[in-house]
Amino acid sequence: DVKVTQSSRYLVKRTGEKVFLECVQDMDHENMFWYRQDPGLGLRLIYFSYDVKMKEKGDIPEGYSVSREKKERFSLILESASTNQTSMYLCASSLRGLGEGRETQYFGPGTRLLVL
């Protein structure tokens, strides 16, 4: 059974803190993604990676960075958290790199981040 896990379900941080969100998949997938989900806006892509040490900006990368040192792990970093980064963060993975767009994405349960 496919599995994407995220390090925390709920997180509370203070403005200016550095925040790490971790995502691990056990399916040997090449692609990994970070989204944020806000009411009425759906899912917006922050960053994605199609291989180890490779990363591509998504639609809303400002204020975020990512790290992928191992195939199974993709980290999202908020260098200096701000209140407008309060959101639900979802990680996903899919099988092939630079694919045709057909790949099913498998999602983790999400991390709800509150920045005070």
Partner 1 sequence: AQSVTQPDIHITVSEGASLELRCNYSYGATPYLFWYVQSPGQGLQLLLKYFSGDTLVQGIKGFEAEFKRSQSSFNLRKPSVHWSDAAEYFCAVGIYNQGGKLIFGQGTELSVKP
The residues that touch partner 1, with contacts defined as CB under 8 A, are 4, 31, 33, 35, 40-45, 48-50, 56, 58, 90, 92, 94-110
For partner 1, the closer CB: 55 or 75: 55
For partner 1, the closer CB: 14 or 52: 52
Choose among 105, 4, 97, 104: nearest CA to 53. Answer: 97
6/11 Cα distance (integer angstroms): 12
Q: How far is the CB of 21 from partner 1 (least distance, A)?
A: 14
Asked if 113 contacts 9 with a C-beta cutoff of 8 angstroms, the reply is: no
